């Protein structure tokens, strides 16, 4: 399930501990010498554990970035990026029966018109030895009665820096689908009051097998105003998703200048 009882209890325990230490720090002047001495020893032990966690977490994030840097990308690539929810743990890690527009982490949101909200979106650990990203995203759909379902992924502001209609935006995705399903990627570029859209369809999927695919968005086919770029995001659109599960094992974007002839 997207929300596991044990993980929920663990998170609640950490939240309560944070609240206790916050109150203690605010009332340190009222503590007796013996209790203050004992609490200081506890705080030092806790700080050492937190420091070890942060060091290891930063090391893992660095390895993920190194793997991204090692990818074979087209010549002239001047920007590359993987969503944060594929590189590090997020909290909460999952949402069950989400309302439309519900966010998972800082970079993704689910959009739908299913009245029953019969779906789960969660971050999962990638099990494959060849997976470059330590985490993936799993979408599980049950009796879906709506007409549309998509995951919106916000791209960072760096993706817009120096962006021109001479660029090609490249998307590489590793996807596992439980059953045959049509999946589309739509790139949205907001400039001034207008938004340009480019849409591509992924090839068909073999049920249960990972499919690694690359699609490209040629910005020459847009009318974007390069001087008024404001926002850029990607929609992953799932067609007729009833009783299915889809895992995004890899997802990264890059951009390069189109070869001019």
CA-to-CA distance for 42 and 259, rounded, in angstroms?
A: 61
| Same structural domain, 179 and 202 | yes
Where is the domain boundary, 68, 90, 118? Answer: 68
- The token pair that represents 17 in the structure block: 């501990």
pLDDT at residue 3, rounded to an integer: 44
Q: Give the other-Cβ count within 10 Å of 74's Cβ.
A: 14
- Residue 140 sits in the same domain as residue 163: yes
SS (H, E, C) the chain: CCCCHHHHHHHHHHHHHHHHHHHHHHCHHHCCHHHHHHHHHHHHHHHHHHHHHHHHHHHHHHHHHHHHHCCCCCCCCCEEECCHHHCCCCCCCEEECCCCCEEECCCEEEEECCCCCCEEEEEEECCCCCCCCCEEEEEEECCCCCCCEEEEEECCHHHCCCCCCCEEEEEEEEEEECCCCEEEEEEEEEECCEEEEEEEECCCCCCCCEEEEEEEEEHHHCCCCCCCEEEEEEEEEEECCCCEEEEEEEEEEEEEECCCC
Count structural domains, the chain.
2
Judge if 238 and 197 occupy the same domain.
Answer: yes
84 and 165 belong to one structural domain: yes
What contacts 240, CB < 8 A, 6 or more positions away?
Answer: 181, 182
Give the per-residue pLDDT at 81.
92
Q: Are residues 116 and 182 in the same domain?
A: yes
- If pLDDT is split at 50, 70 and 90, which confidence band does 2 have? very low
What's the pLDDT at 1? 38
Question: Model confidence at 59, in pLDDT bands (50, 70, 90)?
Answer: low
Q: Looking at the structure, do residues 127 and 161 belong to the same domain, yes or no? A: yes
Residues 197 and 234 in one domain: yes
Predicted confidence at residue 4, as pLDDT, reads 54
Question: Is the domain of 39 the same as that of 89?
Answer: no
Tokens linked to 218: 């040629």
The answer to whether the beta carbons of residues 221 and 169 sit under 8 Å apart is no
116 and 244 housed in the same domain: yes
Confidence (pLDDT) at 160:
94
Q: Specify the pTM.
A: 0.70
In this predicted structure, which of 10-14, 27-31, 139-143, 248-252 has the lowest mean pLDDT?
10-14
**Chain-wide mean pLDDT for the chain?**
84
**Which tokens go with 90?**
């997020």
My answer on whether 116 and 59 are in the same domain is no
Q: Answer yes or no: is pLDDT of 255 > 80.
A: yes
Which CATH number belongs to the domain containing residue 211 in this structure? 2.60.120.260
Q: How far, CA to CA in Å, does 195 sit from each of 104, 164, 169, 186?
A: 24, 15, 16, 12
Q: Which domain holds residue 198?
A: 76-257
Which of the listed residues 48, 68, 88 is the one where a domain comes to its end?
68
- % of the chain exceeding 70 in pLDDT: 87
170 and 60 share one domain: no
Cα–Cα distance between 140 and 146 in angstroms, integer?
14
Domain shared by 167 and 133, yes or no: yes
Final residue in a domain of this structure, among 68, 87, 120: 68
């Amino acid at each position: 399930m997207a929300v596991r009882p044990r993980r929920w209890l663990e998170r609640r325990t950490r939240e309560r501990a944070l609240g206790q230490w916050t109150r203690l720090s605010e009332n340190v002047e009222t503590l007796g010498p013996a209790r203050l001495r004992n609490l200081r020893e506890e705080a030092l032990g806790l700080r050492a554990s937190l420091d070890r966690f942060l060091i290891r977490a930063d090391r893992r994030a660095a390895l993920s970035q190194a793997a991204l840097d090692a990818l074979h990308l087209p010549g002239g690539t001047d920007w590359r990026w993987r969503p944060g929810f594929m590189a590090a743990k997020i909290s909460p890690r999952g949402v069950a029966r989400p309302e439309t527009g519900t966010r998972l982490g800082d970079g993704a949101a689910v959009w739908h018109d299913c009245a029953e909200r019969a779906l789960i979106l969660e971050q999962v650990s990638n099990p494959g030895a060849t997976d470059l990203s330590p985490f993936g995203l799993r979408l599980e759909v049950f009796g879906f009665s709506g007409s549309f379902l998509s995951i919106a992924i916000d791209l960072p502001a760096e993706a817009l820096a120096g962006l021109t209609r001479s660029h090609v935006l490249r998307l590489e995705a590793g996807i596992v689908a439980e059953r045959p399903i049509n999946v589309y990627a739509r790139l949205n570029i907001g400039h001034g009051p207008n938004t340009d859209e480019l849409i591509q369809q992924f090839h068909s999927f073999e049920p249960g097998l990972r499919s690694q695919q690359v699609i490209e968005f040629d910005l020459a086919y847009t009318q974007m105003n390069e001087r008024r770029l404001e926002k850029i995001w990607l929609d992953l659109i799932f067609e007729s998703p009833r009783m299915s599960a889809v895992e995004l094992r890899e997802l990264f974007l890059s951009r390069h200048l189109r070869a001019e002839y």
